[in-house]
Chains A and B, each alone.
Chain A
Amino acid sequence: MKLSMWTYEGPPHVGAMRIAASMTGVHYVLHAPQGDTYADLLFTMIERRPSRPPVTYTTFQARDLSGSTADVFKTACRDAVARFQPQALLVGASCTAELLQDDPGGLARTLDVSVPVVPLDLPSYQKKENWGAGETFYRMVRTFAGPTTRPTDIAANSCNILGPTSLGFRCRDDVTEIVRLLSEEGLDVRVVAPLGASPADLARLTEAAFNIVLYPEIADAAARWLKKTHGMPFVSTIPIGIGATEDFIAEVRALAGLAPSDDEATQRSGRDRLTWYARSVDSNYLTNKRVFIFGDATHAIAAARIASQELGLRVCGLGTYMREFARELREAAAGYGVDALVSDDHLEVEAAIIAARPELVLGTQMERHIAKRLRVPCAVISAPVHVQDFPARYSPQMGFEGANVIFDSWVHPLMMGLEEHLLQMFRDDFEFNDGAAASHLHPHTADAVEDAAAVVAAATEDDTAVWTFDAEKELKKVPFFVRGKARRNTELFAATKGIRPITVETLYDAKAHFAR
Chain B
Amino acid sequence: MNQPLPSACATTLSVTPSATIRQRGQHEVFCGLTSIIWLHRKVQDAFFLVVGSRTCAHLMQSAAGVMIFSEPRFATAIMEERDLAGMADMHDELDQVVARLLERRPDIRMLVLVGSCPSEVIKFDLTRAAGRLNAHYAPRRRVIAYSGSGIETTFTQGEDNFLAALVADQTTVPAARSAAKLVVAGCLADVVEDQFSRLFAALGLQDIVFLPGRKAIDGLTIGPDTRYVLAQPYLGATATALEARGAQRIDAISPLGGEGTTAWLGAIAHAFGVNPARLESVIAQPRKRAEQAMQHYRPWLDGKRIFLFPDSQLEPSLARYLHQELGAEIVEVGSPYLHREHIAGELALLPPGVAISEGQDVDVQIDRCRQAQPDLIVCGLGLANPFEAEGRITKWSIEFAFTPIQGFEQAGDLAELFARPLVRHRMLTGRSRHQEAAP
List which B25-69 residues lie within 8 A (CB) of chain A: 25-34, 51, 53-55, 57-63, 65-66, 68-69
Majority-rule SS of B interface residues: helix
Contact between chains at A1 and B83 (CB < 8 Å): yes
Is A448 part of the binding interface, using a Cβ–Cβ cutoff of 8 Å? no
Contact between chains at A33 and B53 (CB < 8 Å): no
Interface size on B, residues (CB 8 A): 63
Contact between chains at A1 and B80 (CB < 8 Å): yes
List which B14-32 residues lie within 8 A (CB) of chain A: 25-32
> How near does chain A come to B246, taking the closest CB pair, in angstroms?
29
**By CB atoms of chain B within 10 A, which of A13, A59, A64, A123 has the most?**
A59
Contact between chains at A11 and B75 (CB < 8 Å): no
Given contacts A1-B96, A35-B29, A62-B2, contact A52 B55 (CB under 8 A): no
Contacts of A1 in B (CB 8 A): 51, 77-80, 83, 90, 93-94, 96-97
Binds B, one of A40-48, A262-270, A418-426, A476-484: A40-48
Is B389 part of the binding interface, using a Cβ–Cβ cutoff of 8 Å? yes
> How near does chain A come to B106, taking the closest CB pair, in angstroms?
13
Q: Which of A37, A42, A45, A51 contacts B27 (CB 8 A)?
A: A37
Binds B, one of A2-10, A198-206, A304-312, A437-445: A2-10
Is B4 part of the binding interface, using a Cβ–Cβ cutoff of 8 Å? no
Contacts of A366 in B (CB 8 A): 69
Contacts of B316 in A (CB 8 A): none
Q: Which of B27, B75, B81, B154 contacts A4 (CB 8 A)?
A: B75
Is B121 part of the binding interface, using a Cβ–Cβ cutoff of 8 Å? yes
Contact between chains at A40 and B117 (CB < 8 Å): no
> How near does chain B come to A168, taking the closest CB pair, in angstroms?
16
Binds A, one of B172-180, B380-388, B402-410: B380-388
Is A38 part of the binding interface, using a Cβ–Cβ cutoff of 8 Å? yes
Contacts of A59 in B (CB 8 A): 25-27, 150
> How near does chain A come to B182, taking the closest CB pair, in angstroms?
33
A131 to B55, CA, bound (A): 14
Is B107 part of the binding interface, using a Cβ–Cβ cutoff of 8 Å? no
Is A320 part of the binding interface, using a Cβ–Cβ cutoff of 8 Å? no
Over the window 86-123 of chain B, the binary record of Cβ atoms lying under 8 Å from chain A Cβ atoms (1 yes, 0 no) is 00001001101100110000000000000001101110
Contact between chains at A5 and B75 (CB < 8 Å): yes
A36 to B386, CA, bound (A): 18
Contact between chains at A6 and B54 (CB < 8 Å): no
A124 to B93, CA, bound (A): 19
A227 to B25, CA, bound (A): 43
> How near does chain B come to A78, taking the closest CB pair, in angstroms?
12
Contacts of B75 in A (CB 8 A): 3-5
Is B226 part of the binding interface, using a Cβ–Cβ cutoff of 8 Å? no
Given contacts A1-B77, A56-B26, contact A7 B90 (CB under 8 A): no
A126 to B53, CA, bound (A): 11
Given contacts A3-B75, A40-B28, A65-B151, contact A95 B386 (CB under 8 A): no
A461 to B75, CA, bound (A): 25
Interface size on A, residues (CB 8 A): 57
Contacts of B84 in A (CB 8 A): 99, 125
> How near does chain A come to B97, taking the closest CB pair, in angstroms?
5
Contacts of B26 in A (CB 8 A): 37, 56-59, 76
A42 to B65, CA, bound (A): 11
List which A58-86 residues lie within 8 A (CB) of chain B: 58-65, 76, 79, 83
A124 to B84, CA, bound (A): 12
Q: Which of A13, A52, A62 contacts B383 (CB 8 A)?
A: A52
**By CB atoms of chain A within 10 A, which of B28, B31, B382 has the most?**
B382
> How near does chain B come to A69, taking the closest CB pair, in angstroms?
10
Contacts of B194 in A (CB 8 A): none
Contact between chains at B27 and A38 (CB < 8 Å): no
A424 to B66, CA, bound (A): 34
Is B76 part of the binding interface, using a Cβ–Cβ cutoff of 8 Å? yes
A94 to B27, CA, bound (A): 15
Is A49 part of the binding interface, using a Cβ–Cβ cutoff of 8 Å? yes
Tally inter-chain residue pairs, CB-CB below 8 A.
186
Contact between chains at A44 and B72 (CB < 8 Å): no
Is A369 part of the binding interface, using a Cβ–Cβ cutoff of 8 Å? yes
Is B152 part of the binding interface, using a Cβ–Cβ cutoff of 8 Å? yes
Contact between chains at B31 and A35 (CB < 8 Å): yes
Contact between chains at A36 and B55 (CB < 8 Å): yes
Q: Which of B34, B69, B78, B96 contacts A369 (CB 8 A)?
A: B69
Given contacts A5-B68, A128-B54, contact A37 B29 (CB under 8 A): yes
A95 to B79, CA, bound (A): 10
Contact between chains at B66 and A35 (CB < 8 Å): no
A368 to B63, CA, bound (A): 18
Is B221 part of the binding interface, using a Cβ–Cβ cutoff of 8 Å? no
Contact between chains at A10 and B2 (CB < 8 Å): no
Is A34 part of the binding interface, using a Cβ–Cβ cutoff of 8 Å? yes
Contacts of B76 in A (CB 8 A): 3-4, 7
Contacts of B68 in A (CB 8 A): 5-6
Contact between chains at B121 and A65 (CB < 8 Å): yes
Contact between chains at B150 and A34 (CB < 8 Å): yes
Chain B residue with minimal CB distance to A384? Answer: B61
Contact between chains at A52 and B151 (CB < 8 Å): no
A38 to B202, CA, bound (A): 43
Chain B residue with minimal CB distance to A347? Answer: B104
A151 to B383, CA, bound (A): 44
Contact between chains at B151 and A33 (CB < 8 Å): yes
List which A85-105 residues lie within 8 A (CB) of chain B: 94-96, 99-100
A61 to B150, CA, bound (A): 7
Contacts of B61 in A (CB 8 A): 6-7
A468 to B85, CA, bound (A): 57
Given contacts A52-B382, A95-B53, contact A14 B101 (CB under 8 A): no
Is B149 part of the binding interface, using a Cβ–Cβ cutoff of 8 Å? yes
Contacts of B96 in A (CB 8 A): 1
Is B363 part of the binding interface, using a Cβ–Cβ cutoff of 8 Å? yes
Chain A residue with minimal CB distance to B152? Answer: A62
Contacts of B81 in A (CB 8 A): 123, 125-126
List which A374-392 residues lie within 8 A (CB) of chain B: 386
Contact between chains at A38 and B121 (CB < 8 Å): no
Contact between chains at B77 and A50 (CB < 8 Å): no
Given contacts A1-B78, A100-B121, contact A41 B382 (CB under 8 A): yes
A39 to B60, CA, bound (A): 11
Given contacts A1-B77, A11-B58, A61-B151, contact A124 B53 (CB under 8 A): yes
Could you pull out 10 A-B pairs where Cβ atoms are within 8 angstroms? A1-B93, A7-B76, A35-B32, A38-B62, A39-B58, A41-B381, A61-B151, A65-B151, A124-B54, A125-B81
| Interface residue ranges, A against B (CB under 8 Å) | 1-7, 9-11, 13-14, 33-42, 44-45, 48-52, 56-65, 76, 79, 83, 94-96, 99-100, 123-126, 128, 366, 368-369, 372, 386
Q: Kindly list 16 other residue pairs between chains A and B, CB separation below 8 angstroms, not including A34-B151, A35-B59, A79-B363.
A: A1-B80, A2-B77, A3-B76, A4-B77, A5-B75, A6-B61, A10-B58, A35-B34, A37-B382, A44-B386, A52-B386, A61-B152, A63-B2, A96-B53, A125-B84, A386-B65
10 tightest A-B contacts by CB? A35-B31, A35-B150, A369-B69, A50-B389, A40-B382, A96-B117, A95-B53, A1-B93, A10-B58, A33-B150
